Structure 1
């Protein structure tokens, strides 16, 4: 297993062992190979947003939790790769999301699995909205960045659970010795990002960000070739949290 794969394995092991599942595990599992194999020629699109899809979004704008997700751009963050078995833009009911979360626990020992299944039920998940984004990179704020993908997952649950879920996930990353603090999220003190160390010799970089906004837990995972546009990811996450408003409702 590669160094990056080992690191990811350690993170997922920590998540399965103690981090409460607040989003659909595995549904945001776009692979490193997606970025590796992408055409990174300057100016060439990695994943293009079909015009028909963009037109449909204008005619039938998303509502509810999915309506709070940051829209795709015609330039910059366009439509990304599929999220596991789903498409790039996903909305699930709470019951469906909880069922998939429990299904993802199938490899855990029975006692631990049952405990986490009960915790999922206590979270009272009422809905999940997920969207993946992609960028070919370029020059931003005078810095060159490489191609990258980003997934954002919004999970609606009771407000206390959203807050504790974000704090718990951040504590896990804080305790791991394979990540360093990422960029801050302007205006959102409870948001945290963690990424591979800058001196890492990995070809790809990866960054995880978590925050809560009202009754919504916000999780973001970004992967990209170096030089990695961490500031661009942080800017999009800032916009996402701003769109949710103080109560977790879209503004």
Structure 2
């Protein structure tokens, strides 16, 4: 992502008349170790399928970890998870003077771009997240495309069923923002998905069960948020890049963070970003 200057001519070349000088072979560009990483299709595919499998488990659609392990070719036994039981309706929201935030019943209001964490010190906007840009509150058409992407790696006979169920969860919207560290070594991408908060809680719990299944490497804890889950995909020995994913449910928002960068990742810094995002979404009167 950064260009290297071609080396200048040697002193001998400077002393040779231009007409007699031999053309120098162009230097091959070398990618520096500090350049920002490119998304790795296999890892992104597996992480996307993990979220879809979580929704499918809640449906009883007969989809399990076997779909995820197709991305690796090797994985442990499937994990079972049950759907949540019915709950009483949430109380009416209390008033709030802000243009964005959360009601006391767990519902968030305002633009998802406002709810997303602003750029922390030392970060700038990162690369685009596919066709959705790097700082976006998805339009209805983009949201439909986003749901298509979530199910496209599932078995064909399950896609329509899972997508319909995702819509039945009361999908209100989704927002994304990417963050590139000043040194260019790390990119973090935060997603907010807004839908029925009981489904958010259940889907987050299933993702947590999948992350603890042994399919992934154990990730760091998020201080103050015991229900948040961080995990890392399998890593080939000597791989130059690593990844970290964190998820948590906050009321009617499912919060997801994908971090990719030069190994070893600054995990504590990444977790700090995720924790700050969760704090921004805090529900009045609720404890973490």
Highest CA radius of gyration, 1 or 2?
2
Give yes or no for the alignment of 1:230 onto 2:267.
yes
- Contact preservation (8 Å) 1:98, 1:121: no
- Contact preservation (8 Å) 1:97, 1:125: no
Give yes or no for the alignment of 1:68 onto 2:118.
no
- Contact preservation (8 Å) 2:122, 2:182: yes
Which residue in 1 is equivalent to 2:85? none
Which residue in 2 is equivalent to 1:128? 174
- Contact preservation (8 Å) 1:152, 1:220: yes
Which residue in 1 is equivalent to 2:200? 162
Which residue in 1 is equivalent to 2:134? 88
Taking the TM superposition and a 5 Å limit, the aligned residue runs for 1:61-210 are 63-73=110-120, 75-93=121-139, 95-96=140-141, 98-104=143-149, 105-106=151-152, 108-137=154-183, 147-177=185-215, 179-196=216-233, 200-210=237-247
After superposition, the C-alpha distances for 1:67-107 in whole angstroms (9 at most, x for unaligned) are 1111114x4221111111122101025x4454123422346
What TM-score comes out, normalization by structure 1 length? Answer: 0.68
* Aligned alpha-carbon RMSD (Å): 3.0
Give the C-alpha shift of residue 136 in structure 1.
Answer: 3.6
Gaps of 5+ in 2: 1-39, 57-99, 101-109
Change beyond 3 A, Cα 1:110–1:207? same
Gaps of 5+ in 1: 22-60, 138-145
More helix by share: 1
Which residue in 2 is equivalent to 1:20? 55
Q: What is the rounded CA distance, in whole Å, between the counterparts of 1:196 and 1:223 in structure 2?
A: 11
DSSP-derived class of the 1:209 partner: strand
Runs of 4 or more, structure 1, over 6 Å off, are none
Change beyond 3 A, Cα 1:189–1:228? same
Which residue in 1 is equivalent to 2:17? none
After superposition, the C-alpha distances for 1:28-82 in whole angstroms (9 at most, x for unaligned) are xxxxxxxxxxxxxxxxxxxxxxxxxxxxxxxxx9x52221111114x42211111
What TM-score comes out, normalization by structure 2 length? Answer: 0.59
